Structure 1
Amino acid sequence: MKLLWGGERDPATNRAIADFVVNHIEGCERGFAQFTTLGVMVEGQIIAGVVYHNYAPEAGVIELSAASTSKRWLTRPVLKAMFGYPFDEIGCQMTVLRVSEENRGMADIARRFGFTSHRIPRLRGRGEAEIIFTLTDDDWRAHPVNRH
């Protein structure tokens, strides 16, 4: 597994990873504005991507959107890179995920990694709630993945 960073230094890679995520999240067709990406590659193919967007530096908050074609992508090194960017590199105090209430798999993953959930009715339209997951830097640093 190889980690690949997009961002301003590599706009083509940034776009390719964001497009991967957009193509694998239902309802994400509009894409993202002002974003940085992290990709996970195996044998030259992107198998997972994380898009960091809606960054609010004054609040120290950034949103993450992620997608994968493999259940094996969330390794310890990927997790450390994925959360190292917002918490260590740019100094965020909280990350946010928005997940359809129908996406039980992603909701379970978020809870396993220490995210707190907030269900908002109709946030995805009249008939569908969205779960806003938040993870603080303190909760992330206390997570077992960070124990040596």
Structure 2
Amino acid sequence: MRIIWGGASTPQTNQAIADFVATHIAGCESGFADFTTMGVEENGALLAGVVFHNYAPEAGVIELSAASTSKRWLTRPVLKGMFGYPLEQIGCQMVVLRVSERNAGMISIAERFGFTRHRIPRLRGRDEAEIIFTLTDNDWRAHPVNQR
């Protein structure tokens, strides 16, 4: 597996990763605006993508949206890239994930990584709540992936 980065210097890669993520997240048909991406490739095919968006530098907060076609993508180097970019490289103090209450897999992953959970009824429509997950830079630094 290989990590690839999208951004202003690689706009085609940036858009391809964002489109991959948007395609794999229900309700994300409109895509993203003003974003940077990270992808995980295997044998030349995109296996997973992360979109960093809704960046609020004055608050030190950024939102992450991610999708994959394999459960094998969350390796230590990928995790370090995925959280290192916002929390170390651009100086955010917190990352945010928005997850449907129906997405049990992503909820489980976020909870295992130490995110704090906030359930908001109807945020995804009349019949669906959204879970807002937050992870601070302090919580990330204390995570076991950073302890070796």
Where on the TM-score scale, by shorter chain, does this alignment land: which range?
over 0.9
Residues in 1 aligned to 2:11 and 2:130: alpha-carbon distance in whole angstroms: 30
- TM-score, scaled to structure 1: 1.00
Q: Which residue of structure 2 aligns with residue 28 of structure 1?
A: 28
SS of the residue 1:20 aligns to: helix
- Taking the aligned partners of 1:71 and 1:116, their CA distance within structure 2 comes to 22
> Deviation per CA, 1:35-78, whole angstroms, max 9, x where unpaired?
00000000000000000000000000000000000000000000
2:76 — aligned with what? Answer: 76
Per the normalisation by structure 2, the TM-score is 1.00
- 2:73 counterpart of 1:45: no
Aligned AA (1:73): W
The number of aligned residues is 148
2:59 aligned partner: 59
- Which residue of 2 is the match for residue 103 of structure 1? 103
Moved over 4 A (4+): none
Secondary structure in 1 aligned to 2:131? strand
For residues 87 and 95 of structure 1, the distance between their equivalents in structure 2, rounded to whole angstroms, comes to: 8
Give RMSD over aligned pairs.
0.3
CA distance in 2, matches of 1:6, 1:133: 24
Unaligned runs of 5+ in 2: none
Describe the superposition over 1:76-103 as per-residue Cα deviations: whole angstroms up to 9, x where unpaired: 0000000000011100000000000000
**Paired residue secondary structure (2:128):** coil
Cα distance in 2 for partners of 1:143, 1:84 equals 12
* Cα displacement (A) at 1:145: 0.6
- Paired-residue identity, %: 76
Q: Tell me, which stretches of 5 or more residues in structure 1 are unaligned?
A: none
Please name the residue that 2:140 is paired with: 140
CA distance, structure 1, for counterparts of residue 101 and residue 120 of structure 2: 9
